[in-house]
Amino acid sequence: MIRIISALAFAFFTATAQADTVKLAANAPDSYRVVKGDTLWDISGKFLKHPWLWPQVWRLNREQIRNPHWIYPGQMIYLDRSGPYLTLKKPGSHGGETIKLHPQVRSEGLNAIPSVPLHVIEPFLTRPLLVDKDDLAKHGTIIATQENRLLPSKGDTIYAKNITKGVSDWQVYQRAAALKDPVTGELLGYEANYLGEARVTEAGTPATLEITSIDREISIGDRLLPAVDKTSMSYVPHAPEGQVSGRVVKMHDTLEHAGKNSVLAINLGSRAGIEPGHVLALYRSHDKVKYDLDGKKEEFKLPEERIGLIFVFRVFNRVSYAIVMESTGVVKVADSVRQP
């Protein structure tokens, strides 16, 4: 399981939270029992007007900080309106709620609640997405296949150059179309089509690898890069510290429009200060309108319209990938993103 967020992270970010005003949602309940399929964003949204501010309202004691307490289905979340705070114990009580679970339940089928819909972003967390032009020469390249097979399959052997010593697990990809800024036309990188994975069986030049999984056809000339560690992902929602302004450059799994739970790419990356966990607001830019009913021609630029929020989960140099968490309208390429 990819661990997205823990209560320990809540504690750390409570101490360094943004100065945003936390407001209760209309008809916020006094308590809520967590169910399978919930996300921390959804749970917090039941209590807060702006659910991404949840790190500011989770109240944890020292014992919970020393022993991080994961939130699981079946637990009760309580609202302490004096803060407001969200807590795992009733306001005014001294002890937390006791949950009786059979030991095998947690080990076999009870997963911690993720911050955002994990099933939506998981394919984007560890697979290659974007490759800079300068990185192409550094990545491995398949130069031959076992017995010159045209289409190797799982378990087959491949041979590759530029394989870094000491790195055993690799991802195979095929460079796709160029990803460009929708306004300036600047080349941001090349999106990579994930093909499968391979493991080094014999180091050398060239190196020998075995295909361990395959999603699409693998052939000579395809590239390899080191596999990403799944356990390194841990996000807490927060706003960028400085001013940022960017655009949506692409939607995934859709041609033109995106909505809630869609994954999109924006033209802001690590060089712009973007990091995993950043929450950004989406804005729709309107075209200029012409008005000539009063005997003269006038032109007006309509103000931008806020249409939603996105949650950044993977960052490259000039591009980041995010999931749409809230949307009051369809999201399009060239829509603006900035501070929430």
pLDDT digits (tens, 9 = 90+) for 1-22: 444 434 334 433 443 344 457 8
**Residue at a domain's end among 65, 94, 120:** 120
Average pLDDT (238-256) is 85
Q: Which one is predicted more confidently, 53 or 229?
A: 53
Residue pLDDT, tens place only, 121-135: 888 888 878 887 777
State how many domains the chain has: 3
In the structure, what pLDDT confidence band is assigned to residue 230 with cuts at 50, 70 and 90? low
Do residues 284 and 312 make contact, with C-beta atoms less than 8 angstroms apart? no
CB atoms within 10 A of CB 48: 22
pTM value? 0.78
One domain for residues 171 and 253: no
One domain for residues 206 and 188: yes
Q: Up-side HSE of residue 248: CA atoms within 13 Å toward CB?
A: 32
Residue pLDDT, tens place only, 305-321: 999 999 999 999 999 99
Structural domain boundaries, residue 65: 7-120
Average pLDDT (42-59) is 86
One domain for residues 115 and 137: no
Q: Which one is predicted more confidently, 70 or 138?
A: 138
Lowest mean per-residue pLDDT among 33-37, 149-153, 317-321, 335-339: 149-153
In the chain, % of residues over pLDDT 70: 81
Q: Which one is predicted more confidently, 20 or 104?
A: 20
Do residues 276 and 235 make contact, with C-beta atoms less than 8 angstroms apart? yes
CA atoms of 145 and 237, how far apart (whole Å):
45
With a cut of 50, say whether residue 61 has pLDDT above it.
Answer: no
Length, in residues, of the chain: 340
One domain for residues 196 and 263: no
Average pLDDT (326-336) is 90
With a cut of 60, say whether residue 171 has pLDDT above it.
Answer: yes
